A = this chain, B = another copy of it.
Amino acid sequence: MKTGILLVLHGSRVNEWKEVAINYKDLLKEYFDLVEFGFIEFNEPSLRAATESLVKMGAQEIIAVPLLFAAGAHFYRDIPRLIGVNDNGEVDIEGKKVKVSIARPIGIDKRVAEILKERVEQVIESPRQI
């Protein structure tokens, strides 16, 4: 079963999110063959367009993994709707029915706390004001 990984990002009017998406896609490609990113809002591609790309590249199932810390309204309601998942937990793309699962958000992880600590230390080492 060929699995397509859909990296789900919130998106923003600020362009930096696109760079975040591209870089995390590249990092995930070290682990998985088929990876695409899609945005909940503001940026392109949409979650639906990214899902279609994955299926066209041969994905037989989709696992959406959100770059979000917690499962807010977007998670429960918007992500399945924007991907276009039907009541059977599938998308129908050009006649192909592909199962979609959604992975848990990042949640609490000590590695993230380590990164935050490093960001604080960077300020202490080279202070700058707002």
Contacts and interface: CB of A to CB of B under 8 A. Distances in A.
Interface of A: 3, 5, 7, 9, 12-14, 16-17, 19-20, 23-24, 27-28, 30-32, 63, 65, 67, 69-73, 76, 80, 85, 88-89, 99-117, 119-120, 122-124, 127-130
A119 B103 CA distance: 6
A82 B101 CA distance: 38
A3 B28 CA distance: 36
A103 B115 contact: no
A13 B76 CA distance: 12
Nearest to A87: B130
B112 A115 contact: yes
The oligomer's copy count stands at 2
Nearest to A128: B101
Given A23-B108, A27-B108, A115-B106, A123 B72 contact: no
